[in-house]
């Protein structure tokens, strides 16, 4: 086999989900002999090179004078104090007060780092560039290399008349509220999109699709969602789109159950609780969950998050600030989650039912999709009753038919080898400029 080494440049959003997804795909490419460069945000310094990945990082904003990163939890504490009231609002109200400001912050980062990113592209000379984000970085579109887009959020991010609008959490079977949500999205995002589109064009790239902050790649588009939960029957995609049924990283260390949860009474289940970095930083919410779940006969592994020192776990719980999620998830019976796309697709990958407590962004869409397909139960995050939570847990655990269905589905998803499929597509896209590549 005559394989020429490729240089693959990844630019993931600076969140754990997209970065973890790209790391997993990047490791497969690395194992195939390619050179993998991450133009990630500067806070990832030192976290990628130990995995064999090249770090050529960018700043998305000026470093504040006197910035002190000795206490990483301080940022989350302040963020949640200011932001958590937004998570209690209906999704249509979050469009103006959370979704639009988040997009603006991402746009500001893309504008700020454009000169840096152009220097990185010139320095690294990539054969293919890959972006996993919700806003485009024009330097990647204008690079002399094929562009690959990854959607690692819920695939409603790819719009269509037959599917509910992204971020809405509205049901697939009832379109009565779709138009009002889309109208509000246009009202709250039109001016921002126009300004960003002008910037993208000024950088030499083609205009963006109307009201989209990311274009569809002409080369290849990847998205992470299992076939069993997908929307393609309602919103068909063209041949540039490739579904990765899952993309589970293999970089987590092995996890051995501690005695506190491994030795549990007969008939009790082992449940994993993770609300992500932002959800777990809401101390009042975590205390409420500890109180309710602490009165059950089950055992819980808790991802405590950045505010781990601010609340105590119940006697039937064990947890740490961070946990190797993909190593421990195969060992549990049920997952309680915020509905982030990584956790949702990983739970399906391992065949685990879910209780979903969405907070923002696509978490509402994932929660709704799991609920309407019967793979989980969506609850009101801040106003669920004790009986609703306990009923959801016991109902899912007692459903033997669901357990059998999800075990079979998980095995099928794992067999589709999402990371390897992504690497195949990226290699194939690079072939026109790399005629010696044969795989």
Higher pLDDT, 194 or 45: 194
Position 16 pLDDT exceeds 50: yes
Percent of the chain whose pLDDT exceeds 90: 72
Q: What is the pLDDT of residue 371?
A: 97
Going from the C-alpha of 369 to that of each of 229, 231, 375, 384, 427, the distances in angstroms are 7, 10, 8, 19, 32
pLDDT in tens, 202-227: 999 999 999 999 999 999 999 999 99
Position 41 pLDDT exceeds 70: yes
Least confident of 35-44, 70-79, 148-157, 313-322: 70-79
Question: Smallest Cα–Cα separation from 167: which of 215, 97, 110?
Answer: 97
Query: Region 380-407: what's the mean pLDDT?
Result: 96
Calpha distance 86→361 (Å, rounded): 11
Question: Smallest Cα–Cα separation from 303: which of 288, 317, 284?
Answer: 317
Higher pLDDT, 165 or 258: 165
Domains and CATH numbers, the chain: 7-70+109-178+197-245+417-433 (3.40.50.2000), 259-415 (3.40.50.2000)
Q: How many residues does the chain have?
A: 439
pLDDT band at 392 (very low <50, low <70, confident <90, very high): very high
Across the chain, which distance is largest between two alpha carbons, in Å?
65
Burial 139-160 (b: 16+ CB within 10 A, else e): bbbbbebbbbbbbbbbbbbbee
pLDDT in tens, 100-137: 998 998 999 999 999 999 999 999 999 999 999 999 99
């Amino acid at each position: 086999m005559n394989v020429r080494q490729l240089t693959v440049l990844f630019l993931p959003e600076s969140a754990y989900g997209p970065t973890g997804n790209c790391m997993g795909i990047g490791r497969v490419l690395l194992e195939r002999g390619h050179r993998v460069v991450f133009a990630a945000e500067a806070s990832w310094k030192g976290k990628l090179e130990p995995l064999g990945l090249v770090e050529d990082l960018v700043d998305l904003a000026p470093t504040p004078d006197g910035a002190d990163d000795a206490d990483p939890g301080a940022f989350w504490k302040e963020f949640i104090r200011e932001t958590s009231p937004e998570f209690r609002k209906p999704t249509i109200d979050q469009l103006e007060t959370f979704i639009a400001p988040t997009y603006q912050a991402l746009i500001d980062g893309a504008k700020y780092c454009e000169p840096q990113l152009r220097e990185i592209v010139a320095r690294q000379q990539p054969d293919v560039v890959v972006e996993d984000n919700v806003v485009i970085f024009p330097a990647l579109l204008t690079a002399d290399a094929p562009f690959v887009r990854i959607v690692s959020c819920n695939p409603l991010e790819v719009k269509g008349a037959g599917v509910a609008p992204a971020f809405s959490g509205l049901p697939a079977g009832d379109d009565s509220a779709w138009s009002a949500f889309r109208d509000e999205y246009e009202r709250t995002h039109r001016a921002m999109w126009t300004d960003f589109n002008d910037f993208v064009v000024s950088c030499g790239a083609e205009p963006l699709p109307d009201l989209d902050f990311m274009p569809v790649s002409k080369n290849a588009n990847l998205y992470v969602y299992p076939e069993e939960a997908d929307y393609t029957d309602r919103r068909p995609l063209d041949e540039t789109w490739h579904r990765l049924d899952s993309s589970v990283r293999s970089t987590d260390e092995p996890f051995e159950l501690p005695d506190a949860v491994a030795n549990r009474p007969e008939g009790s289940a082992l449940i994993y609780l993770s609300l992500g970095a932002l959800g777990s930083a809401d101390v009042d919410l975590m205390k409420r969950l500890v109180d309710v779940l602490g009165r059950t006969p089950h055992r819980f592994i808790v991802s405590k998050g950045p505010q781990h020192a601010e609340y105590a776990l119940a006697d039937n719980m064990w947890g740490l600030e961070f946990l190797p999620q993909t190593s421990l998830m195969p060992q549990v019976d049920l997952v309680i989650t915020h509905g982030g796309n990584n956790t949702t697709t990983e739970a399906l990958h391992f065949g685990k039912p879910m209780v979903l407590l969405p907070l923002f962004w696509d978490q509402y869409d994932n929660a709704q999709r799991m609920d309407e397909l019967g793979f989980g139960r969506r609850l009101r995050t801040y106003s669920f009753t004790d009986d609703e939570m306990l009923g959801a847990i016991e109902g899912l655990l007692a459903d033997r038919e669901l357990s059998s269905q999800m075990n079979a589905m998980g095995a099928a998803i794992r067999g589709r080898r999402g990371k390897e499929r992504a690497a195949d597509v990226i290699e194939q896209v690079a072939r026109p400029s790399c005629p010696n590549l044969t795989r």
